Chains A and B, each alone.
Chain A
Amino acid sequence: MENTLALLFGLTMLSMSATSRMKSYLKMLSIQGLLLFLIFYAFMEQFNALNFCFLAFETLGVKMIIIPLFIWRIIKKGKIYRDTSPSIPKFYSLVAATIILFSGFVFSVFLKKMLINTNPLSFGVALSTIIISLFFITIRKKVITGVIGYIMMENGIFLLSLSVEKEMPIIVNMGILLDLFIAVFILGLLVKRISRTFEDNDMDSLKVLKDSVDDN
C-alpha cells in the first residue's frame, strides 16, 4: 500500500515537470498533500492522538489546502497563469525528471540492506523528489514557480522524514511546520513586491545587484 502511494507521489513529480500551467502545479501540490497524509496513515504503527491530529493538520490542512490557496491568490493578483519559456523544453525536463526518479528507484534497491527501519521505495522517491525540485527551480523562470519548487522540495523532505520511521518530538514538528508556513508566506509577499517593483515576474529581472555593476 505505502509503496503504491509513494509511486503515485513520484508520478505527481513527473506531471509537474511536464506542464507549465500554474493551476496544474497547484492541483499537484494539493494531491501531494493528500498523498503525504495517506502515506503517513499507511506507515502509522501505533495510534498517537496528538501526533495524528498534528500531522493530519499539517498534510491535509496546510499542505493540501492553505498553501495552494495562498499561492493561487498571488497568481491571480499577478495574473501569471503560465510559466512559459523555461530554460529547456518541457519534453527534456520530463525526460530528466524520469531519469532522476528512475535513479531514485535504483538507489533504493541498492541501499535496501543498509536502510534500517526505513522504507526503501519511499526513501528513493523522496530523494529523487528533492533533486527534481532543485532541477525544477533551476529551469523555470518565474519567481512564483521558484516558490512552488521550494514547496515541492519541502514535500519531498516530509516524505523522506516519513520513510524513516522515527518520530520527532512534537515541539520540533511544530517548529518545522511554522517555519515552512512563514517561509512560504514571506516568499509569497516578496513575489508580490517583485512583480510590482520590477514590472516583471522573471528571475532574470533580478539583476540589479551584481559585483560588476555599480549597485548603489
Chain B
Amino acid sequence: MELLRFTTAGSVDDGKSTLIGRLLYDSKSIFEEQIEAVKNSSKKKGLEHVDLSLLTDGLKDEREQGITIDVAYRYFATPKRKFIIADTPGHIQYTRNMVTGASTANLALILIDARKGVVEQTSRHSFIASLLQIPHVIVCVNKMDLVDYSEEQFDKVVEQYKEFAAKLNVKDIRFVPISALHGDNVVNRSENMPWYQGETLLHTLETIHIGNDNNLIDCRFPVQTVIRPHNNEYHDYRGYAGRVAGGVFKIGDKVLVLPSGFSSTIKQIDTYDGPLQEAYPPMSVTIVLDDDIDISRGDMIVRENNQPQVSQEIDVMLCWLNVRGPVPNGKYILRHTTNEVRTMIKEVLYKVDINTLHRIEDDKVIRMNEISRVRLRTTKPLLADSYTRNRQTGSLILVDESTNETVAAGMIID
C-alpha cells in the first residue's frame, strides 16, 4: 500500500471542511463516537442535516470561532492507499499555513464554488501549489447541486481555470464536479450528473500515479549523524546516517563528499533489517565508505558527474512566516538539508501579489504571509539544487537568532 499526502485549502464557506468530512465519512474512516458527537453538535446548533464539517474541527479556540487557524493533519485509508491530509485555512492571512501544508504534499485539492467560478482565493491556492511544486492538482468544482448539476456550468469553470492555470507551473491538473454536501462524485458516483464520465474524487486519489514524484536521477545524501558503535563487534565501524534526498545509491558507486571534495566508493548500505544493494528516496539508511575520510553532519554524498551548485549567494522565493518582518541587514540562521549556516538578505528583488501573480517592484518591505524573490548571502557555501529539481535539497528555512522562531521558508531558484 502506498502513502499519498495531499493538502487542501479553502475558506469557511467553500465547503472544504464538508468535503473532508464527506471523504472520511463515506470511506468509513469515522468512529461511532465521533459521528455521535457531530450529530449532537449539529442538533445543538439547530441544523437539519448532520454537519460533516464539524468532524474536522480542531482546537478549542477554533471551535469557538468557527475557523481553522492552523494546519491540521487527518488520516484515512482505503484498501488501496493510506492518505494524510494537511488541512489548511484558505484566507490570505493564513498563507504561511497553506505553504506549510503544501511543503510535504504530493497532491493539492483545490475547491471552486460552481456558482462563482475562479475567484481570488482559487488563484492564491493554485499559485501556492505551483510555487511549492506539488506534482498533482485536483480541482473540485463544488456545490454542483446549487447549479442544477449543470454540465455547461462545469465546463465554463474548467475553461476559466485552464486559462488561468496556463500561467502556472503545474504538470497534472484534473477536474471533478462534486457536491460535498450531498456526496456526489466524492466517494460514490453521482446519479445527478450522468454527463460526467470521469472518475470520482476518491477513485482519483486512490489511483493517481505518484511513483515518479521523487527525484531518482540526482544522487543526494545529506549526512545527518555519524554512527560509531565503539564496541568489539563493530570496532572500527563508521557509518553515515541519513535519508536519501535524491537518486539511487548502489554498492560500488564512486561517490564524492562535499564540501571537502574527497572521493570514495560505497562499501555498504546498512539498515537494522540487513544490508541493502541500493538505496533511494525517501529511505533512511547508513552508508559506509571504503576510505576513512572525515565526514560530519551537514556534508553531502553525491556522484562525481552530478553535483549540486556550491554557492554563497543564492536567489530564493521566500515566504515570510512571522509577525515580525525581516530586520534590515539582520542575520538569520539558515537551515538547509542537514546543514546550518548564517545568512542575511542581501536584496529584495520583487514581491509577488499572490492573488494576481503580478510582480510588485515599488514596495520591497516584506511582511508576514508575503512572498518575495530575494538574494541571500551566506557565511558558508550551500550545497543546493533548484527547488523545481529537488524539493528536499532545494528548500530552506530561516530562524531568528534572538527568538529561535522559524521566520521564513525559501525555495531555491536556479
A binds B: no
Query: Interface on A for B, CB 8 Å cutoff?
Result: none
Query: Interface on B for A, CB 8 Å cutoff?
Result: none
